Chain A
Amino acid sequence: DTAVSQTPKYLVTQMGNDKSIKCEQNLGHDTMYWYKQDSKKFLKIMFSYNNKELIINETVPNRFSPKSPDKAHLNLHINSLELGDSAVYFCASSLRTSGYEQYFGPGTRLTVT
């Protein structure tokens, strides 16, 4: 009965490659998020989608492109991977956009070599 799931859990790839991370939530939430946690453990929001519509797009290189086919799924595609993209990427969801608790997936550890 996993609430927020992500695949893959680990991703090791070379610079210049394109990769995707998938996220699914079965909580019936309307809003989903992507966060990046760097080596210093700082958690920073990247994108937020509400009912398949983009509502937050922080200053993120346009090599990162989120896609939400339906409100239960939010995928992250990364083009032309760079060394600095190495981090843990967390997906999260909340019931609505404002004021509600966010629940996190297990994370995807991306290593770019």
Chain B
Amino acid sequence: QKEVEQNSGPLSVPEGAIASLNCTYSDRVSQSFFWYRQYSGKSPELIMSIYSNGDKEDGRFTAQLNKASQYVSLLIRDSQPSDSATYLCAVKVGNDMRFGAGTRLTVKP
């Protein structure tokens, strides 16, 4: 089983819709969870971090964490074409950061 799993996509949503990105992880002692956005040819850019169960909102982004289910998600409200990118889920266990393979999101005008 992969340590951090994401649906590779592509996920396509129309402009203005909600995009929902999901991630599951295998290590129960994982403490810190992150979402990164990576545009083609660019470096990963931190969007959100979440450390405790529940929801965390920042502008159009909401991260959701459920440690019992080992599940973390990212919702993007009012999706814009500029949100089209690959979204990487990352899970930190101690000193180690493990990344998922990423979900490619396309927002169509």
A interface list, Cβ under 8 A from B: 33, 40-45, 48, 55-56, 90, 97-107
Contacts and interface: CB of A to CB of B under 8 A. Distances in A.
A56 B90 CA distance: 17
Nearest to B32: A99
Chain B contact residues (Cβ within 8 angstroms of A): what range? 20 to 34
B100 to A, nearest CB: 9
Given A43-B102, A98-B92, 14 more contacts: A41-B86, A45-B96, A56-B96, A97-B95, A98-B94, A99-B31, A99-B32, A101-B34, A101-B46, A101-B49, A102-B34, A102-B97, A104-B36, A104-B43
**B contact face: mostly helix, strand, loop, or mixed:** strand
B63 interface: no
A41 B102 contact: yes
A55 B44 CA distance: 22
Contact of B51 (A55, A90, A99, A103): A99
B45 interface: yes
A105 B43 CA distance: 7
Contacts of B98: 45
A41 B101 contact: yes
Interface in B1-48: 31-32, 34, 36, 38, 42-46
B105 interface: no
Contacts of A105: 43
Nearest to A50: B95
